Structure 1
Amino acid sequence: MFGLILGATARIHYALRGLMPTNVLLDALHTRRGLKWGVPAMLLAVPYALAAVFCTGQADAGGSGWFNLLALVFAWNALKFLVVGPMTLMRLLWVLAREANGRRQASRAIPRDGNGLERFAEPELASRRV
């Protein structure tokens, strides 16, 4: 029974994930091209926090109880954007270090006497230097 509920919940979550704008943006930030935008995306936490404060104030002033649910959603989104900044910064530094290491290893693999293409040339063309 528990496995059935867990499976249904997971399927619903992944089906709706593409419809949630913050999750779509967070998925885009976790790509190689989007890593550089992680720290500026932290600024999106400010409007979400202000919206959470506004909804909490409306609920406290005698408004609908649904404002509490909205405040919870806004607070959750603000926390997601606060966390994504440092995470993407660390990941960007790690990726840049790996790319630099790959470039360094690739430059060591090229022979110093030529352009490194001799081993890929056809045998009759290998004797001629271009």
Structure 2
Amino acid sequence: MIRLIWTLSAHTRYYLRRYMPTNRLLDAIRCRPNLKWGIPAMLLAVPYLLIASVCTNALADGAPDWLHLVVLWAVWNAMKFIIIGPVSLILLIRARTQEAIARHRVSAGRAVKPFQGASVVRR
């Protein structure tokens, strides 16, 4: 039973990661060339919060209960976009620091050789 639940959750995660537009956008932002777009992407949370607000007001006025799912979806996506800003900033700082260290090593003549696999030491 646990194996079935585990498999089902893995397939659901794969499907959502692969085909949902917000997840694809967040994956694209996490790539090195696109880390600079993390802070502007936080603005995409505004429409989601607006949708949640409109649906919440409609629910208060007697709208159908299935709008609770829309509110949950909108708030979840808004949270994802709000979180990507600081995360991408931290990842960008880390990447630039590593690049600066690599440039410094190359300019100092201490370039690290790439791993060539196992080799036999001969004397």
TM range (shorter): 0.7 to 0.9
Q: Which amino acid aligns with 1:8?
A: L
Which residue of the partner structure matches residue 127 of structure 1?
A: none
**Count of residues paired in the alignment:** 110
| Counterpart-to-counterpart distance in 2, 1:74 and 1:12 | 19
Instruction: Give the drift of 1:7.
Output: 1.3
For 1:1-130, what aligned pairs fall within 5 Å after superposition?
Answer: 1-109=1-109
| Counterpart-to-counterpart distance in 1, 2:16 and 2:69 | 18
Higher mean alpha-carbon deviation, 101-110 vs 76-85, is at: 101-110
Gaps of 5+ in 1: 111-130
Instruction: Give the drift of 1:66.
Output: 1.4
Larger Rg: 1
Bigger RCO (CA 8 Å, 6+ sep) = 2
RMSD: 1.2
TM-score normalised to structure 1 length: 0.81
Q: After superposition, give the CA deviation of every residue in 1:33-85 in whole Å (9 maximum; x if it has no partner).
A: 11000000001111111111111111121111111110010000001111000
Q: After superposition, give the CA deviation of every residue in 1:81-100 in whole Å (9 maximum; x if it has no partner).
A: 11000000011001000001
Q: Which amino acid aligns with 1:15?
A: Y
| Counterpart-to-counterpart distance in 1, 2:101 and 2:49 | 40
TM-score normalised to structure 2 length: 0.85
Instruction: Give the drift of 1:15.
Output: 2.3
Give the % identical residues: 45
